Amino acid sequence: MEEKQKSRTKWKQDPQAVQHDILRIARGEFAANGLSGARMDEIASKTKTSKRMLYYYFGDKEGLYRRALEAAYDDVRKGEEALHLEGASPDEGLRRLIEFTFDHHSANPEFIRLVMIENVHNGAYLKESEVIRSLNVSAIAKLENICKRGIAQNLFRPDTKALYLHWQISAYSFFNVSNRATFALIFSIDLSQMTEQSKLRDLVVDSLLRSVLINNG
Amino acid sequence: MEEKQKSRTKWKQDPQAVQHDILRIARGEFAANGLSGARMDEIASKTKTSKRMLYYYFGDKEGLYRRALEAAYDDVRKGEEALHLEGASPDEGLRRLIEFTFDHHSANPEFIRLVMIENVHNGAYLKESEVIRSLNVSAIAKLENICKRGIAQNLFRPDTKALYLHWQISAYSFFNVSNRATFALIFSIDLSQMTEQSKLRDLVVDSLLRSVLINNG
Amino acid sequence: MEEKQKSRTKWKQDPQAVQHDILRIARGEFAANGLSGARMDEIASKTKTSKRMLYYYFGDKEGLYRRALEAAYDDVRKGEEALHLEGASPDEGLRRLIEFTFDHHSANPEFIRLVMIENVHNGAYLKESEVIRSLNVSAIAKLENICKRGIAQNLFRPDTKALYLHWQISAYSFFNVSNRATFALIFSIDLSQMTEQSKLRDLVVDSLLRSVLINNG
Amino acid sequence: MEEKQKSRTKWKQDPQAVQHDILRIARGEFAANGLSGARMDEIASKTKTSKRMLYYYFGDKEGLYRRALEAAYDDVRKGEEALHLEGASPDEGLRRLIEFTFDHHSANPEFIRLVMIENVHNGAYLKESEVIRSLNVSAIAKLENICKRGIAQNLFRPDTKALYLHWQISAYSFFNVSNRATFALIFSIDLSQMTEQSKLRDLVVDSLLRSVLINNG
DNA sequence: TATGAATGAGGCTTCATTCAT
DNA sequence: AATGAATGAAGCCTCATTCAT
C-alpha cells in the first residue's frame, strides 16, 4: 500500500497537464458509470489535483462530461488518421479499412461506452459541441475515395454509397463492443475472446466484401 | 408535499394491475434516464400509486430496475413469437426474418435503450435474473431451422452459422436504433425518417442475403 | 449547558406545527442576515426538525424566504386588525392611528428588517407572492374612512388623500426603525431609548395633525 | 479561466485611478446585492484590474465594503455642499433645503441602498469607520442656522429643533427611495414616476412647512 | 505592482429509503 | 394494502482567499 499522497510539486503551473489529467480520469469514470452515475468526488480523488479544479476548468459536471466526450472523439479521430491506404487496390483497401475500424473500436471500449451513454441522452451534449462537427469530413473521406475507385474499376457494385457502407461497418464494429455483455449472457458465449474476435472480424470483412464486390461467386 | 396527489379512484385492491402500472412507468423512466439517472420520486409520481408501493413490491431501486428490464425482455420475446415462417423457402424465410427483426427493434426503442443501459452496467443485473435465461432458446430457433434448410438445399453457403448470422442481424437492427442520435449529429442525416429507414432495411436485407446465398451474382 | 437533544417525540405528525416552527426561525435568521447571509444549516439547527424538512416543505432557500416574508406580512396585518376606531372623532382617530402604526412598527423590528431586505432585492420575491396582494385593501381602509369623515366635517383639509397620508405615516414609522443604527452613529444620539421614542412619536403625531387639520394655529 | 480577461491598455501604474475604479464598481455591486450577496469575482470582473488587486488594496471583502461605504458617504456629503442658502429667508431656506434633500436622495439610490444594507448590519461597519464621524457637523449646520433665524424672526414655532427636523426630512427623503419596491407592489402605484415624485415632493415640503411655521392657516 | 493558477471550507440541494399509522 | 411525514448520507457547487511567479 502506497502512502496516499499526491505529488503536488511539479504538476503545478502546468494547466495543460492538469486539464489533460482531469479529462483522462473523467472519461474513464463517465464511461464506467454514466453521466449521473459518475461522481465528481470520485473523479477528483483519482486526479492529481483537487475537486475544486474540476469546476475551475470545466464549470460543472455537464461541462466536464462534454469536454471528456469531445476529447474521446478527438482521440479516436486522431487514431483513424494513422491508417494509410494510398497504394492499395479498392478491394484490398476496403478490407483493410474494415479490419482497421473493427480493431479500432475493439481497442477503445471506453470510447464506445461514452458514445452509448451519449446516445442514451439523445446526443444532447454532442449537440452543443462545436468541436464535433469537424469530425464528419475526415471520418468518411477515405471510404469515399475507395468507393469511387472501386466503382470506376468495375469492382464494386455501382450503387455502393460510402455513407451507407460506413453505417454498416460502424454497426458491426460498434455492436461488437457495445452489446458484448448482454449477448454473452443470453447466448452463453463470450465473443470477447481473441479467437472469437478474429472469427467475427473475418465474418464482417467477408460478409461486407461479398455484398459489395461484383464478382464474389 | 414533494409529490402531487392523484385521485386514486378504484385501482386499489388490484395488486397485479398496480405492479404492471409501476413497471410500465419504470421502464420508461429507466430507458429515458438510465439507472442512476432515473428518480424514484419521478417514477412514483407518474404512477397511479404512492412511492411507498414501489418499495413494497420491488424492494429497492435496483430491484425495480431488474424487474422492469425483465418485463421488457419478456414483452419483446412475446412479440417475436408472432412471426411464423413455416411455409417459406429458406431464402424467403431469411428475408422475412431479417425484415421482421429490423422492424421489431425499430418499433421498440425503449427496449433498445434498456439493453444499452444494461450493457453500460456490464450486464450486472441481467446476470442476476433467472427469467432471462429462458430467452435464448426461442430467440434463435427459427433462424437455425432456416439455416439448416438453406444449407441442405444448397442455397446457403455451407459454413453459415445461425448464431453468427443472428449476431449480424442484431448488430444492424440494434445499431439502427441505438446510435441514431450521434450518427445524425456527425453526418447531418436523420436516418430515422421513414424513407431512410426503408432504404436501410433494404440495404441490410440485400447485404446479408448476398453474403449468405451461394448464387447471388 | 443543556444536553443538545431535540424532543423529537410529540412534534411528529404535526406538519402545521413543524412548518410554523421553521418559518418562525427562518424569519429571524433572514431578518438578521439577509437572504444570502442567512444559512440553511443555521436555520435548521435552531429548528425542532432536521434540515431536510426545510426542503421538504419549502423547496429551496428562496422558497423558504418567500414564505417567511409572507408570514411576516400576514402577522403584521393581523396585528393591525386589533385597532378599532369606531367611536372616535376624525382627529382623535387619526391621532390614534398614527400612534398605533408608529408603535406597531417599533414593536416589530424583525418585520421592518425583512421589508428592508426585500427592498434591497427590488421586491423580487414579494412580486411572486399571491398572498401579499390581499393586504392592500385592509391596510388603508381605516385611514380612508377617517379622511372621508374628517373632510366632510370640515376638520381636514379637503385635498387630504388617504394613500399619501399613509405614505407619510409609513415613512416616519418605518424610518424610525430602519435607520436607527446609522442615525445613531452619525449624530451620536440613540433614538431607540424610550424617552426619545416617545418624543419622536409626539413629534410625528403633532406634525402630521398640524399639516392635515384646517385650524391648527 | 473563471474570469474573462480585459484589454488592459494603459491603466497600469496609476494606483489612485485603479482604486477609484474598484471602489466605484464595488459600491454598485454591494448596493445591488448586499454585503454577503455581492461576489468578489463579479466585482473583479467588472473592474479594469484583476481580483488580486482587490485584496492588495483593500485586504478583504469587508475592508472593501467599508471603503466603498465611506466613499459613498463622502460623495454624498460633497454633493450637499453645493447647496447655498445665504441670502434666503428662513422659510424659503427651509423649503429649498427640504427640496434639495429630497431630490438629492432621489438622485442617489445607490447610496440609499448602501445605507439600508448597513442598517441591516446594525451599522457594524460604519461603527469602525473613522471617516464617517466628520459628517455630522456639516450635515446639520445649515439646518441649525435656518432654525435659529426662523425662531428669532417669530416665523418658526419656538420649540423647533434642527436635529428632529432633520430626522423628519430624512425619513421622507429616505423612505421615498428605500421602500419604493414594496410600496409599489402593495398599493399598485409606481411612485417613482416623475409626476408622482413631484407630487410627493410638494407634499413633503408643504407638510413640513405647515408644521413648523406659526401662521400657516 | 501585478497576475493566472490553485484551494479548503462550507454552502445549497437531492437522493433513496424508512417510520408511524 | 396503503400512505403522508420524515430522514441521514451524500451529492454538486461556490465562496473568499492565497500561492508562485
**Candidate from B163, B170, B217 with C-beta closest to A217:** B217
Percent above pLDDT 70 for chain B: 92
Q: Which residues of A touch B66 (CB under 8 A)?
A: none
Regarding predicted confidence, which is higher, B191 or C16? Answer: B191
| C10 beta carbon to strand E: under 7 Å | no
B57-90 core/surface letters (b: 16 or more CB in 10 A; e: else) = bbeebeebbbbbbbbbbeebeeebeeeebeeeeb
What is the pLDDT, as a whole number, of residue B13? 57
What is the pLDDT, as a whole number, of residue A2? 34
- Report CB contact under 8 Å: B120, A122: no
CA of D4 to C1' of E8 (A): 24
What is the pLDDT, as a whole number, of residue B86? 86
How many C-beta atoms lie closer than 10 Å to residue B48's C-beta?
A: 16
On the question of pLDDT at A133 being above 70, the answer is yes
Q: How far is CA B7 from CA B11, B23, B42, D161, in A?
A: 10, 20, 17, 69
What is the pLDDT, as a whole number, of residue D133? 72
CA of D190 to C1' of E14 (A): 41
pLDDT in tens, C128-187: 888 887 777 777 899 999 999 999 999 999 999 999 999 999 999 999 999 999 999 999
Taking CA atoms, what residue in D is nearest to C196? D164
**Which one, of D183, D33, D116, D191, lies nearest residue C121 by Cα?**
D33
Lowest-pLDDT range of B2-6, B193-197, C195-199, C204-208: B2-6
What is the pLDDT, as a whole number, of residue C118? 97
**Which one, of D47, D10, D7, lies nearest residue D27 by Cα?**
D47
Find the length of chain A. Answer: 217
Q: Which residues of B touch C15 (CB under 8 A)?
A: 1
* CA separation for the pair C101, C165 (Å, rounded): 12
pLDDT in tens, B151-199: 999 999 999 999 999 999 999 999 999 999 999 999 999 999 999 999 9
- The DSSP result for A128-156, as a single string, is H-SGGGGHHHHHHHHHHHHHHHHHHTT-B
Neighbours of chain D (3+ CB pairs under 8 A): A, C
Q: Are B201 and B103 in contact (CB under 8 A)?
A: yes
Q: Where are the alpha helices (DSSP H) in chain C?
A: 15-37, 40-46, 51-58, 61-80, 90-107, 109-120, 124-128, 135-152, 162-178, 180-187, 194-212
**Candidate from C37, C171, C210 with C-beta closest to D171:** C171
Taking CA atoms, what residue in C is nearest to B3? C56
Nearest nucleotide to the CA of C36, by C1', is E11
Torsion on CA atoms C197, C198, C203, C205, rounded to nearest 10: 110
CA of D26 to C1' of F15 (A): 17
CA of B55 to C1' of E19 (A): 14
Phi, psi at B195, each rounded to 5°: -65, -40
Chain B, 29-58: which CBs lie within 7 Å of strand E?
38-41, 51-52, 55
Phi, psi at C66, each rounded to 5°: -60, -45
Chain C, 57-116: which CBs lie within 7 Å of strand E?
59-62
Three-class HEC string of A38-80 = CCHHHHHHHCCCCHHHHHHHHCCHHHHHHHHHHHHHHHHHHHH
Q: Which nucleotides of E are covered by protein (CB under 7 A)?
A: 1-21
Q: 3-state class of C11 per DSSP? A: coil
D115: closest CA of chain A, how far (Å): 35
What is the pLDDT, as a whole number, of residue D138? 74
pLDDT in tens, B158-170: 999 999 999 999 9
D28: closest CA of chain C, how far (Å): 12
What is the pLDDT, as a whole number, of residue B217? 45
* CA separation for the pair D185, B130 (Å, rounded): 64
Phi, psi at C27, each rounded to 5°: -55, -45
**Candidate from A163, A182, A210 with C-beta closest to B187:** A163
| D45 beta carbon to strand E: under 7 Å | no
Phi, psi at D24, each rounded to 5°: -65, -50
Three-class HEC string of chain B = CCCCCCCCCCCCCCHHHHHHHHHHHHHHHHHHHCCCCCCHHHHHHHCCCCHHHHHHHHCCHHHHHHHHHHHHHHHHHHHHCCCCCCCCCHHHHHHHHHHHHHHHHHHCHHHHHHHHHHHHCCCHHHHHCCHHHHHHHHHHHHHHHHHHHHHHCCCECCCCCHHHHHHHHHHHHHHHHHCHHHHHHHHCCCCCCHHHHHHHHHHHHHHHHHHHECCCC
How many C-beta atoms lie closer than 10 Å to residue C213's C-beta?
A: 18
Number of cross-chain residue pairs from A and D with Cβ atoms under 8 Å apart: 4
Q: Amino acid letter at D119?
A: N
pLDDT in tens, A7-29: 334 445 678 889 999 999 999 99
Question: Which residue's C-alpha cell is 426503408?
Answer: B198
Q: 3-state class of C147 per DSSP? A: helix
* CA separation for the pair C101, C82 (Å, rounded): 11
Phi, psi at B163, each rounded to 5°: -60, -45
How many C-beta atoms lie closer than 10 Å to residue A23's C-beta?
A: 21
Q: How far is CA C13 from the centre of its chain?
A: 31
* CA separation for the pair A39, A185 (Å, rounded): 28
Q: Which residues of B touch C57 (CB under 8 A)?
A: 1
Facing residues of A156 across strands? A213
Taking CA atoms, what residue in B is nearest to A116? B116
* CA separation for the pair B149, B162 (Å, rounded): 11
Does chain D reach chain C with at least 3 CB pairs under 8 Å?
yes
**Which one, of A185, A97, A106, A184, lies nearest residue A142 by Cα?**
A97
Taking each helix axis from N to C terminus, what angle separates A90-107 and A194-212, rounded to the nearest 10 degrees? 150
| D40 beta carbon to strand E: under 7 Å | no
Q: How far is CA D75 from CA B127, C181, D108, D117, in A?
A: 75, 20, 10, 17
Q: 3-state class of A213 per DSSP? A: strand
B14: closest CA of chain A, how far (Å): 33
Burial tier of C116 (Cβ tally within 10 Å: 0-12, 13-18, 19+): buried
CA of A129 to C1' of E3 (A): 31
> Max alpha carbon distance in chain C (Å)?
66
Nearest nucleotide to the CA of A8, by C1', is E6
* CA separation for the pair B98, B208 (Å, rounded): 9
Which protein residue has its CA closest to C1' of F18? Answer: D52
Neighbours of chain C (3+ CB pairs under 8 A): B, D
Taking CA atoms, what residue in A is nearest to B129? A185
Confidence of residue C13 (pLDDT cuts 50, 70, 90): low
Which protein residue has its CA closest to C1' of F5? Answer: C13
Confidence of residue A3 (pLDDT cuts 50, 70, 90): very low
Does chain C reach chain A with at least 3 CB pairs under 8 Å?
no
Q: Which nucleotides of F are covered by protein (CB under 7 A)?
A: 1-21
- Report CB contact under 8 Å: C185, D135: no
| Cell numbers linked to D31 | 448596493
- Report CB contact under 8 Å: D182, C34: no
Q: Which residues of C touch D117 (CB under 8 A)?
A: 34, 120
Question: Which residue's C-alpha cell is 427651509?
Answer: D94
Counting as low any pLDDT under 50, the low residues of chain D are 1-11, 216-217
* CA separation for the pair D185, C133 (Å, rounded): 8
- Report CB contact under 8 Å: A34, B33: no
Q: Which residues of C touch D140 (CB under 8 A)?
A: 187
C77-110 core/surface letters (b: 16 or more CB in 10 A; e: else) = eeebeeeebeeeebbebbbbbbbbbbebbbebeb
What is the pLDDT, as a whole number, of residue C7? 38
**Which one, of A158, A181, A45, lies nearest residue A109 by Cα?**
A181
| Cell numbers linked to B167 | 449476431
CA of A21 to C1' of E4 (A): 19
On the question of pLDDT at A41 being above 80, the answer is yes
Which protein residue has its CA closest to C1' of F6? Answer: C53
Neighbours of chain B (3+ CB pairs under 8 A): A, C
What is the pLDDT, as a whole number, of residue B16? 83
Number of cross-chain residue pairs from A and B with Cβ atoms under 8 Å apart: 160
Nearest nucleotide to the CA of B51, by C1', is F3
* CA separation for the pair D123, A205 (Å, rounded): 81
| B27 beta carbon to strand E: under 7 Å | no
* CA separation for the pair B91, D7 (Å, rounded): 72
DSSP-assigned letter for residue A123 = T
| Cell numbers linked to B97 | 426474418
How many C-beta atoms lie closer than 10 Å to residue A32's C-beta?
A: 16
What is the pLDDT, as a whole number, of residue A13? 62
For the entire predicted model, the pTM comes to: 0.89
| Cell numbers linked to C86 | 369606531
Phi, psi at B122, each rounded to 5°: 60, 25
**Candidate from D36, D136, D164 with C-beta closest to C36:** D36
Q: Are C125 and C65 in contact (CB under 8 A)?
A: yes
Taking CA atoms, what residue in B is nearest to C15? B1
CA of C48 to C1' of E17 (A): 22
Mutation for B interface: A35, A80, A120, A216, most B CBs within 10 A: A120
- Report CB contact under 8 Å: A211, B207: yes
* CA separation for the pair D198, D196 (Å, rounded): 5
What is the pLDDT, as a whole number, of residue B216? 47
Taking CA atoms, what residue in B is nearest to A140? B187
Mutation for B interface: A179, A180, A198, most B CBs within 10 A: A179
Rounded mean pLDDT of A193-208? 97
| Cell numbers linked to C206 | 403633532
On the question of pLDDT at B200 being above 70, the answer is yes
What is the pLDDT, as a whole number, of residue C5? 38
Facing residues of C217 across strands? none
CA atoms within 13 A on the CB side of C152: 8
